[in-house]
Amino acid sequence: MKPTLLDRNPISIQVVQKATAPLTIRLTPAAEKTAPGLPGKQVGEILVFPTAGGQEVLVSLGDAAKITADVYRQAGGALAVWFRKLKVERAAFAAADLTEAQFSAFCEGLFLGAFTFDRYKSDAEPVVKTEVECIGGSAAVIEHAQALCAAVNLARDWAHEPANVINPVTLSGRVQELAKEFGLQYREVDEKALESMGAGGLFSVGKGSQAKPRLIILEYAGNGAPAGTKPVVLVGKAITFDTGGYSLKGTENIQGMKGDKCGGVTVAATLMAAAALKLKQPLVGLIPAAENMISGDAYRPDDILRMLSGKTVEIISTDAEGRLILADALTYAQKEFTPHAVIDLATLTGGVVVALGRVRAGLMCNHDELAERLAAAGEATHERMWRLPLDDDYAKAIKSDDADIKNSGGREAQPVIGGIFLKQFVSNDVPWAHVDIAGVADSPKDDTYRPKGATGFGVRMLVNYLESL
C-alpha cells in the first residue's frame, strides 16, 4: 500500500510503557565548564557513552540560561541528522521531564531534521527507518507534530523540484492530488479563463511560457465551524521559474529561481496541515502560478496591463512579476469570498534579504491585531517576522505618467514598495498581511532541523495563527 503523505517520514515516534531499544537518548544542558566527556556549549552536540545495556546518547541543549522551545527543536533536528548518518534503527527517549511545548518542539525537530531531497541522485543511499520509543510523552502531541511537519516537508519537497518537473500546469495537477488525499475542494482557472475574466497581471506574466498560467484554488470548510464563518484566505506566489523576462536576470541571480514558487507551495502545504489537523477555521488557498519566460508572446517593459481590479499598471521591469500575479489573486480573494483576513506569502524582493538577512521575514500589514497575531505565531514557532511600514508616502514611488501605477519604484525601500504596490489592490476594510519570505525560504547551509535548501517557512507559523482564532 502506498504510504500517505503523513507517514513518509523516516522517523517514527511511538509512546511505550517500557523501552527496549539499546540506545537511550538524554537531553542535557551544557556543563558549566566544558571538558572531555561533558556536553559542549553548542546546541545539538552529541556524546555517546557505553552502558550496561547498550549506549547512552547525550544531546546538548547548550547554555542552561538560554534554553528555549526552539533549542529543543534544534536538538531534535541534530539528533535526526545523527540517526541518518549512523543508520540508527531504534532508540529510546524519556519525555516525562519535558513540558508539552518542549516535547512538541523536540518532536518537530526530529521530523523536520530527517528531511532529505535526493530522488535525482543515482548514488543516494537507501533510507533507514528509525523508530523512537518514547516513555512519558503524549501521543496527541506526537500526532500533531507529525502532521504539521509532513506539511512542511511537502512544501520543501515541492520547492526543490526543478522547473522541468513542476510548472504551472503540473503544479496544479499535484495540488489536485493533494486535495483528493485530504478532502479539500480544488478547482483551477486556466489561461483562457484568466484572459476572459480580465486578470491581466497573471495572464500576461505567464503567457510567454509554453506552460500557461493557472490560478489554483483550494478550499477547506473547517471542522465544526459555525455556518457563515468567514474564511481566512491565503495567497501564495508560485512563479515556477523566473528568468526575469525581458528584464533578464544575470547568471548569478537566475540560478535557484525554481524556488520562486515557495509562497505557493507553502499555501498548499498549509491547507494540507489544516485538513490533517482538523482545524476549526475555514480556509481558502489561492495559488497564482506562472512561469516568467522570454518568447515572442512574452510581456515587455513599457506594456500597460489592465488588472482584474480594473486598475492599469505600467511595466517598468518584467522582473517585478510576482506582485502582478499576487495583485490579481488578492482581487479574486475579495471578489469571490468574504475573508476574515487575507495573508499573502511571496519570495518577492531581494531588498528584504538586504534589510533582514536570513533571520526574519518582512511583514507588512494594514491591521494591527492581525499583525500582532502573526508576529506572536512567528515567535512561538521560530518563524519570525519584522514589521515594515506601509505609509502612503511610499506610494509616490509607483506613480505612473501613463497608467494608474507602475510595477517598480527602483532600488529605494524595495521590500516596502512591493508591499505598497499590493496594498493598492486590497480594500481598507479587509485585514491583510503581506509576508516577504525571500530571505528565509531557503537555507544556504545545514542548520539542525533546517537542512540546506528549501525551509518550508510559513507553514508552522500559519497553523499556529489559525489555531489561535
- Residues noted as catalytic: 249, 323
Dihedral angle sign, alpha carbons of residues 344, 346, 348, 349? positive
Q: Which three cell numbers stand for residue 407?
A: 510595477
The Cα–Cα gap between 306 and 41 comes to 58
The single-letter code of the amino acid at 49 is F
Q: Residues 6 or more apart from 140 whose CB is under 8 A from it?
A: none
Contact in structure between 130 and 88 (CB atoms under 8 Å) = yes
Give the single-character DSSP code of 301.
T
Dihedral angle sign, alpha carbons of residues 442, 443, 447, 451? positive
Instruction: Please choose, from the candidates 242, 346, 349, the residue with its C-alpha nearest in 3D space to the C-alpha of residue 294.
Output: 242
Q: Which three cell numbers stand for residue 433?
A: 498581511
The Cα–Cα gap between 239 and 257 comes to 8
Q: Which three cell numbers stand for residue 353?
A: 534579504
Contact in structure between 365 and 433 (CB atoms under 8 Å) = yes
Torsion of the alpha carbons at 215, 352, 243 and 168, rounded to the nearest 10: -20
**DSSP secondary structure of 285-335:** EEEEEEEE--STTS--TT-EEE-TTS-EEE-S-TT--HHHHHHHHHHHHHH
Q: Which three cell numbers stand for residue 164?
A: 522541468
- The kind and range of the H/E element at 370 are helix 368-381
CA distances from 201 to 239, 287, 309, 310, 429 (A): 13, 14, 10, 11, 23
Q: Where are the alpha helices (DSSP H) in 217-261?
A: 251-254
Q: Which three cell numbers stand for residue 76?
A: 531534535
Torsion of the alpha carbons at 445, 449, 455 and 457, rounded to the nearest 10: -130
Cα angle: 281, vertex 341, 434; to 5 degrees: 120
User: How many residues make up the chain in this entry?
Assistant: 469
CA-based R_g, the chain, Å: 23
Furthest CA-CA distance within the chain: 81
Q: DSSP 3-state assignment of 50?
A: strand
Q: Which three cell numbers stand for residue 421?
A: 504596490
